[in-house]
């Protein structure tokens, strides 16, 4: 995905097609965050955020982008809802300037909560994996920042205790997902099935290893959505109504 300036309205989101576009997006994020940090208030109210977990082959990125666009169009929003997939999260975690820019954007209260969370989380789950530690810190920071849509990386658990989070799980039958993978990656049916099984297994293992939990546990999510059963706009309507019902959005 990429970012495009919208004046005072903040950033819009579109799909990234190349590594260069992703690099431009990352650079734009740093610039935006550094600008926002200079004018932020000492304390701001908590802002809502969304996490998206998904079975491989579901249209998580398209769904996240369209959800952010829908939320940015609502009256009263600051227009800064932004999408973060696992690649962008990884880059932030590895880039010192980006990590500092994100931290500087947070209130002192948010920074203190992140420090407390990190201490508690890794006391229960000791690890020498600095990449995972940095990933957890970035995802938690994005949740604390608010007006973010975080795809993958255990966001539903990392942000589980924050009251303004809305957690989604995207699923669909294997046959439907196979067709999506065939169309997206140009693979045969058998290759697509193998890719789906491998990726689902890797994601389940990542979640179980790092969070000691079952990724398919519906109790972790506000909504579990079957993408094969509804058109995209219908699912977006359900999510927005759900966020309104939770008090995370004013009635539209």
Query: In this predicted model, what pLDDT tens digit does every residue of 163-213 receive, in sequence order?
Result: 999 999 999 999 999 999 999 999 999 999 999 999 999 999 999 988 999
Read off the DSSP letter of residue 18. S
165, 51 in Cβ contact below 8 A? Answer: yes
In a domain, 201, yes or no: yes
Domain membership flag for residue 35:
no
How confident is the model over 88-129, as pLDDT tens digits? 888 888 887 777 777 776 767 777 778 877 787 777 666 667
Inside any domain, residue 4: no
Q: What does the pLDDT read at residue 14?
A: 37
- Beta bridge partners of residue 239, listed in sequence order: none
Provide the residue range defining the domain that includes 91. Answer: 43-245
Closest CA to 28 of 41, 49, 10: 10
Inside any domain, residue 25:
no
pTM score, whole prediction = 0.80
Closest of 142, 166, 149 to residue 220, by C-alpha: 166
Burial class (CB in 10 A: 0-12, 13-18, 19+), 182: middle
Residues 52-94 pLDDT 10s: 999 999 999 999 999 999 999 987 666 689 999 988 888 888 8
Q: Rounded to 5, what percent of the chain is helix, strand, coil?
A: 55, 15, 30
Q: Which residues contact 193 (CB under 8 A, 6 or more apart)?
A: 174, 178
Residue with tokens 């169009």: 73
Residue 17, domain member (yes or no):
no
pLDDT value at position 86? 87
- Residue 113 in any domain: the answer is yes
Is residue 29 included in any domain, yes or no? Answer: no
Classify residue 37: in a domain, yes or no.
Answer: no
Which has more pLDDT, 14 or 238? 238
Q: Tell me the CATH number at 241.
A: 3.40.50.300
Instruction: Name the band, by pLDDT with cuts 50, 70 and 90, for residue 45.
Output: low
Domain count, the chain: 1
């Amino acid at each position: 995905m990429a970012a495009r300036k919208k004046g005072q309205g903040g950033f819009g989101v579109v799909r990234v097609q190349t590594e260069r576009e992703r690099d431009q997006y990352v650079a734009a994020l740093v610039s935006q965050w550094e600008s926002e940090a200079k004018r932020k208030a000492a304390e701001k109210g908590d802002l809502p955020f969304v996490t998206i977990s998904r079975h491989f082959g579901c249209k998580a990125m398209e769904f996240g982008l369209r959800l952010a666009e829908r939320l940015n169009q609502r009256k009263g929003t600051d227009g800064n809802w932004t999408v973060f997939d696992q690649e962008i999260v990884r880059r932030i975690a590895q880039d010192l300037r980006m990590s500092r820019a994100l931290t500087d954007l947070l209130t002192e209260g948010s920074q203190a909560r992140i420090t407390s969370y990190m201490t508690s989380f890794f006391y229960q789950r000791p690890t020498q994996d600095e990449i995972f530690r940095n990933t957890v810190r970035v995802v938690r920071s994005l949740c604390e920042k608010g007006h973010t849509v975080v795809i993958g990386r255990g966001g539903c658990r990392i942000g589980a205790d924050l009251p303004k989070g809305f957690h989604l799980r995207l699923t669909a039958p294997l046959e439907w997902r196979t067709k999506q993978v065939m169309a997206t990656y140009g693979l045969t049916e058998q290759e697509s099935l193998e890719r789906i099984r491998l990726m689902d297994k890797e994601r389940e293992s990542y979640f179980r290893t790092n969070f000691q939990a079952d990724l398919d546990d519906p109790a972790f999510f506000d909504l579990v959505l079957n993408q094969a059963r509804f058109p995209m706009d219908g699912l977006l309507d359900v999510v927005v109504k759900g966020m309104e019902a939770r008090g995370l959005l004013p009635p539209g």
